[in-house]
Structure 1
Amino acid sequence: MPKAEETVLEIDLGALAHNYRFLRSKLDEDVKLLSVVKAHAYGSDSVAIAKKLEELGTDYFAVAYVEEGIRLRENGITKPVLVLHPQFTHFESIIEHCLEPNLYSERTLQTFIQTAEKLNLENYPVHIKLNTGLNRLGFDEPEISRISELITGTKRVKVASVFSHLAASEDWQEREFTVGQIDLFRKMSRQLIENLGYEPLLHICNTSGVINYPKAQFSMVRTGIGLYGYGNDKNIDPQLKPVGKLKTIISQIRKLDNGATVGYNRAFKVEKPTRIATLPVGHADGINRIYGREKAGVFINGKYAPIVGNVCMDIIMVNVTDIDCKEGDEVIVFGGPQHPVDFAEAGGTISYELITGIQRRVSRVIIPENKK
């Protein structure tokens, strides 16, 4: 791969393909796979990722917001797209672009049915979210009869899937709670299916659910973070490949003597002759202040360089006193020698927040899959 000449996020489609195949290998043969590509495909590039996943054979996509689904359609994605958190003002846009809404409350269900009636639609695919304990979105158990009545009372919509969301599927200390969620989902979905008279797709497992609760696959699973190389499990992470690698370069190297300070608020004080490298990436790019003051670091020519002082908006400074390097050399922020999970944990956060926080001004470089 060519060395970076600016700050870039490399997106490795070969790693994506590896992760997809790994997760597929965990599924029963007849279980469908829904790929979550919300938030710019977890901070990467939703179009490039979705096109590759469609090529690989994913059955469904999911996004959070309507505009994310529209972007996929405008770029040629044809597989079904579930919109996880649609807003009423976008219901007609959902229909215009053949997207499929998650209806999670009586108000959303009634309003979408009204929209479908206005447009004279029939059997438009919708998804019903059941609340089994996460307590974000979804119908509670006592509402099953009412929503069944609303759905069976119209020909405007047809339920494509019924689903719920596990709260702590990666945490074995919460196993009892997770099993309780799965059991409640089975009970609620069974009641809804009996009322509907047909069986939609059923899904509750996320990435950690796929790995830890294989008997809860139902007819489809949803995977997001696993596609991008993170298993939420120290034993699984080595079997996955992070899709994103954040790279930058050294803009300047400065030699400082004892007593000098570095950066805003003079947060780093030099206690012996020190070489400091300045890098063109900062908290406006997604490398937040939590990583400063030597909590995290980068790799230059295979050696670790701690971030010193406070992270600036567009710049970080690293200590390269013991590293043989020069201006213009490539720097690996995460990916490669440093797993993004380790970088995130050094700052006291999680991989989700790190990778989805890389801002759009950072150039994306797509690395195609090597099929040799």
Structure 2
Amino acid sequence: MPKAQETVLEIDLKALKHNFEYLKSKTQKDTKILAVVKAFAYGSHADIIANYLQGLDVDYFAVAYVSEGVALRNAGIVTPILVLHPQAINFKMLIERCLEPSLYNAKILNEFITVASEEGQTNYPIHIKFNTGLNRLGFEKNDVDDIISKLKGTNSVITKSIFSHLAASEDLSEKEFTSHQIQNFENITKEFSKKIGYQPLFHICNTSGILNYPEAHLDIVRTGIGLYGFGNSEKENKNLKPIAKLKSVISQIHRVEKGQSVGYNRAYKSNAFVKTATIPIGHADGIGRQYGNGKGYVIINDKPAYIIGNVCMDMIMVDITTIDCNEGDEVIVFGNHPHSASEFSKTTQTISYEILTAISQRVKRVLLR
């Protein structure tokens, strides 16, 4: 593998295939796989990831917004795409590009039925989301009769699936809460199917749901973070491979004498002689200021080099006093376990999702096949 000569995000498709096949092996035989590729496929490259997974016969994709679905269609994706949080202003575009909306309250359901009717649609696939405890988006159980009444009053749409979202499936101390969510959802699906007269697809499991609640796999499971190499637990992280490695290079090495400062606001003042390396990556690239002042670190020649002072827009400075390295040497910001995005993010009490999705689009993506 070539050494980095600039800041790059390497994307490993072999690791992606491994993760997909591992998660598929954990699902029930007839359960469909929905791949979540929102937020540029968790900060990697949505077009590349979706096309590769389409080649592996993934059953569904999900994105957050209509614009993300349009971008996938433009990239040649023909697999069904669920839009998890569509806005009414984009409904005509959604229909034009054969995207499928998640409808989560009476207002959005009424608006979509109106637009679908105006556009001359018949049995356009929609997905009805129910809130079972996350309290973010979704109809409530007592909304079933109103939903059924509206759906039976039109032939413009048809319910493709009913789904909900688990709030704490990765936390086994919340097993009672999660089991209650699953039971609540099963009660909703039974009532809905009986009253609508046919049975849509049902899904509630995310990545941690796939791994921890096999009894709830139902017709579809949704996986996002798992595809990208993280299982939300130390145990499952060992079974998955991070697909993204953020790498950079040492631009310059400085000798900082006692009493001198480093970076903006003189946030670091040396109590003794130190050597620092300046690296071309900063908060405009996704490495936020919260990682500065000795919290975050990078790996240089297999050793941790902690960030000194404030993170700049385009650069960080790290302490290399005890590291044998030179200008031009490669720097690993995050990559495989144990130096993964998950470990990097822990230094500021956040999660892998945040650091992965924060990586700027100006960072060059390099594809590893």
Same fold by TM-score greater than 0.5 = yes
Q: Secondary structure at the match of 1:92?
A: helix
Q: Which amino acid aligns with 1:305?
A: A
Task: Answer whether contact 1:34 1:223 (CA < 8 A) is retained.
Answer: yes
The runs of at least 4 aligned residues of structure 1 exceeding 4 Å deviation read none
Name the counterpart of 1:27.
27
Q: Secondary structure at the match of 2:360?
A: coil
Alignment of 1:274-353 (within 5 A): 274-336=274-336, 338-353=339-354
Name the counterpart of 1:87.
87
Give CA-to-partner distance per residue, 1:163-209, whole Å, 9 cap, x none: 00001111112111111100000001111111111111100000000
Name the counterpart of 1:176.
176
Name the counterpart of 2:134.
134
Q: Distance in 1 between matches of 2:129 and 2:37?
A: 19
Q: Which amino acid aligns with 2:349?
A: G
Give CA-to-partner distance per residue, 1:95-145, whole Å, 9 cap, x none: 100000001111111111111111111110000001101111111011100
Give CA-to-partner distance per residue, 1:53-109, whole Å, 9 cap, x none: 111111000000000000000111010000000000000000100000001111111
Count, aligned residues: 368
Alignment of 1:134-173 (within 5 A): 134-173=134-173
Q: Distance in 2 between matches of 1:259 and 1:110?
A: 67
Q: Distance in 1 between matches of 2:296 and 2:86?
A: 37
Name the counterpart of 1:78.
78
Q: Secondary structure at the match of 1:235?
A: helix
Alignment of 1:203-214 (within 5 A): 203-214=203-214
Q: Distance in 1 between matches of 2:30 and 2:59?
A: 11
Q: Secondary structure at the match of 1:276?
A: strand
Q: Which amino acid aligns with 1:106?
A: A
Task: Answer whether contact 1:286 1:358 (CA < 8 A) is retained.
Answer: yes
Alignment of 1:2-151 (within 5 A): 2-151=2-151
Q: Which amino acid aligns with 1:140?
A: E
Q: Distance in 2 between matches of 1:119 and 1:173?
A: 48
Q: Which amino acid aligns with 2:101?
A: P
Q: Which runs of 5 or more structure 2 residues have no equivalent in the other structure? A: none
Give CA-to-partner distance per residue, 1:265-324, whole Å, 9 cap, x none: 222222222111000101111001111111121111112111111111111000111111
Q: Distance in 2 between matches of 1:254 and 1:223?
A: 45
Q: Distance in 2 between matches of 1:120 and 1:275?
A: 68
Q: Which runs of 5 or more structure 1 residues have no equivalent in the other structure? A: none
Name the counterpart of 2:367.
366
Q: Secondary structure at the match of 1:98?
A: coil
Give CA-to-partner distance per residue, 1:198-243, whole Å, 9 cap, x none: 1111000000000111100011100000000110011100110011
Quote how far apart the aligned CAs of 1:11 are. Answer: 0.8
Q: Distance in 2 between matches of 1:81 and 1:285?
A: 29
Higher mean alpha-carbon deviation, 36-45 vs 149-158, is at 149-158
Higher mean alpha-carbon deviation, 268-277 vs 32-41, is at 268-277
Q: Which amino acid aligns with 1:185?
A: F
2:218 pairs with 1:218: yes
Task: Answer whether contact 1:290 1:348 (CA < 8 A) is retained.
Answer: no
Q: Tell me the TM-score normalised to structure 2 length.
A: 0.98
2:292 pairs with 1:262: no
Q: Which amino acid aligns with 1:293?
A: N
Q: Which amino acid aligns with 2:217?
A: Q
Higher mean alpha-carbon deviation, 33-42 vs 266-275, is at 266-275
Q: Distance in 1 between matches of 2:67 and 2:306?
A: 39
Q: Distance in 2 between matches of 1:14 and 1:23?
A: 14
Q: Tell me the TM-score normalised to structure 1 length.
A: 0.97
Name the counterpart of 1:198.
198
Q: Secondary structure at the match of 1:228?
A: coil
Give CA-to-partner distance per residue, 1:317-369, whole Å, 9 cap, x none: 0011111111111100001461211110012211111100101111111111x
Q: Which amino acid aligns with 1:187?
A: N
Q: Distance in 2 between matches of 1:119 and 1:352?
A: 38
Higher mean alpha-carbon deviation, 64-73 vs 313-322, is at 313-322
